[in-house]
Amino acid sequence: MPQDNGLDEEMSVERKTAEMSLDKAKEELARGRHDDAIEHAREALRQDSTHLDVHRWLAQLYEDMDELVRSSREYQELIAANSDDEQAWEGLRRVDKDAAERLERLHDIAPDPFVAEREHAVDDDMFGAIGEDEEEEEEEEYEETQADAVLEAPEDETEELAQEIEAEPATAPPTGQVPWAFEQDYEFRQRLMARPGISEVANSFADMADDYDAWETALAGCAHLDRQRHSEAAELIEELTEFFGVPAPELFMAPERRMIPTVVGGDPVRIAITTGMLNALSPAGLRFAIGRLIAHLVLEDLMYQHIVIAVLQRSPVSVTDCEEALSDLLVRTALGWDVGVSRDELELTRKIAHAWHQRAVLSADRGGLLACRDLEAASLAIAQGTARDSDKAAEMALDDFIAEYKDQAPQQLSAIDQKEDPLRSGAYSAYRILMLRWWADSDEYRQLSGT
């Protein structure tokens, strides 16, 4: 029988019920019934998700059972609720030193609207003097959460999602993580690969990797880049592949006034730039745009990019013939991957695919900035990518673009629909500029760029 602590009248019904479940968990543990104890504790959290003592009890139980991954997650939940919880920090350092170090680094990260609870107003100072000497800005503290970022899983799927995140991914991420990748990029790759049916999609693309004829169909309307006619572009791509230390891809030209290039997987990798890019972007802007393309090769994320295309099947208004042909090829190759997958699980998979793609775009932006070292040119190139054609892109002014979004919070800017391409979205591109500006003023960027 639960002890009377004298606080019953002050406790909510949910907290009282959760306390009863926690007491049952402790009773079961005393009898040596670990599974039943955990189930009662989980029931307590379902009744009152804010009951931090339950997370603390579970963290210690998992630690005693040597289930350190689960223990780490519980300690991180405590830290997400209270970043000054020194007891939780000590526990996390015991069971997961790498996670503790990562969370400590993330205290200095830029505002992250991917965390649903965060509200941060964008003011003139945040967007203002891009390309000029800036005053040191106060850096916002960021508290990372494990399962709440972007995803809103149905209540009955919460535990299942946690188990899937914990599970070994179907395809392991690269062993050497790129130091300038956006925080959570690799984490969300693993979440995506752990979803039902996704390993089958990856396997079908891997089986097609050496099929040159199949990938050739994705290059609809493209021609091999004329190195004499477009010598500057060819030399730039060669320079940047050497700069990043990756094999040179095959180069193609898409005769379109659109602004979005295409990376086609397989072996070898193919890159199709557009005539619109060459006509509208400044030399520094083109260096950024090409740099972020090559960055995808460094990040080794083309398979994940192709999975996103097959899963989300977006149809942007300004799609190029090459993008459309690539989408057709990937969707056709992955056909049937979702057979037997429930509607709820499909929706969750799409959310995770979209969430990873948003982060992958930010990773590539960082690579592009390292390539061009010109924040103002990079910011303008991001804005120009939202234009429907090169004529409109050439007319764009960065100040005018920023003025459209400067009164919106980062969370609003990043909250785009799954069917919306982050590269073409005006709001998300404004967010990309914000995040790139923050990173350009970080110690990490200064160390990597030598500035």
Q: What is the pLDDT of residues 42-63, one digit of tens each?
A: 888 878 878 899 999 999 999 9
Q: If pLDDT is split at 50, 70 and 90, which confidence band does 151 have?
A: very low
Q: If pLDDT is split at 50, 70 and 90, which confidence band does 288 have?
A: very high
CA separation (Å) from 241 to 15, 87, 211, 244, 381? 58, 47, 24, 5, 20
5/439: higher pLDDT = 439
User: Which pLDDT value is given to residue 164?
Assistant: 43
pLDDT exceeds cutoff 60 at 9? no
pLDDT exceeds cutoff 90 at 440? yes
Return d(Cα 362, Cα 436) in angstroms, integer.
8
For the beta sheet containing 250-254, the strands, ordered from the edge strand earlier in sequence to the opposite edge, are 223-224, 250-254, 270-274, 262-264
Contacts of 217 (CB under 8 A, 6+ apart): 325, 329
**Residue type for 288, please?**
F
Return d(Cα 266, Cα 303) in angstroms, integer.
9
User: Which pLDDT value is given to residue 268?
Assistant: 86
**Residue type for 439, please?**
W
Look at the pTM and tell me if it is higher than 0.85. no
User: Which pLDDT value is given to residue 375?
Assistant: 96
Contacts of 229 (CB under 8 A, 6+ apart): none
Q: What is the mean pLDDT of residues 65-72?
A: 85
User: Which pLDDT value is given to residue 123?
Assistant: 42
Number of neighbouring beta carbons within 10 Å of residue 250: 15
Beta bridge partners of 272: 252, 262
Contacts of 303 (CB under 8 A, 6+ apart): 171, 202, 205, 206, 265
Give the tokens for residue 275: 């005539």
| Strand bridging mode 270-274 / 262-264 | antiparallel
CA separation (Å) from 268 to 116, 134, 190, 246, 321? 40, 43, 25, 12, 20
Q: What is the mean pLDDT of residues 23-47?
A: 89
| Strand bridging mode 270-274 / 223-224 | unpaired
Contacts of 19 (CB under 8 A, 6+ apart): 2, 11, 44, 51
Map tokens 């320079």 to a residue. 239
Q: What is the mean pLDDT of residues 340-353?
A: 92
pLDDT exceeds cutoff 70 at 167? no
Q: If pLDDT is split at 50, 70 and 90, which confidence band does 105 have?
A: low
Q: What is the mean pLDDT of residues 405-421?
A: 89
| Alpha-carbon torsion, ordered 242, 247, 248, 252, to 10 deg | -140
pLDDT exceeds cutoff 50 at 73? yes
Beta strands (DSSP E) in 141-283 are 223-224, 250-254, 262-264, 270-274
Give the tokens for residue 175: 């062993």
User: Which pLDDT value is given to residue 127?
Assistant: 53
Q: If pLDDT is split at 50, 70 and 90, which confidence band does 172 have?
A: very low
Question: Which of 45-59, 67-81, 122-136, 140-154 has the largest mean confidence?
Answer: 45-59
- Half-sphere exposure in the Cβ direction for 51 (13 Å, CA): 25
pLDDT exceeds cutoff 50 at 155? no
Of residues 78, 31, 81, the one with CA closest to residue 57: 78
Return d(Cα 142, Cα 316) in angstroms, integer.
33
CA-CA-CA-CA torsion sign (33, 35, 40, 42)? positive
- Half-sphere exposure in the Cβ direction for 437 (13 Å, CA): 28
pLDDT exceeds cutoff 70 at 168? no
> Do the beta carbons of residue 334 and residue 310 sit within 8 Å?
yes
User: Which pLDDT value is given to residue 134?
Assistant: 35
User: Average model confidence (pLDDT) for the chain?
Assistant: 82
pLDDT exceeds cutoff 50 at 129? no
Phi, psi for residue 396 in degrees, rounded to 5: -70, 145
Length of the chain, in residues: 451
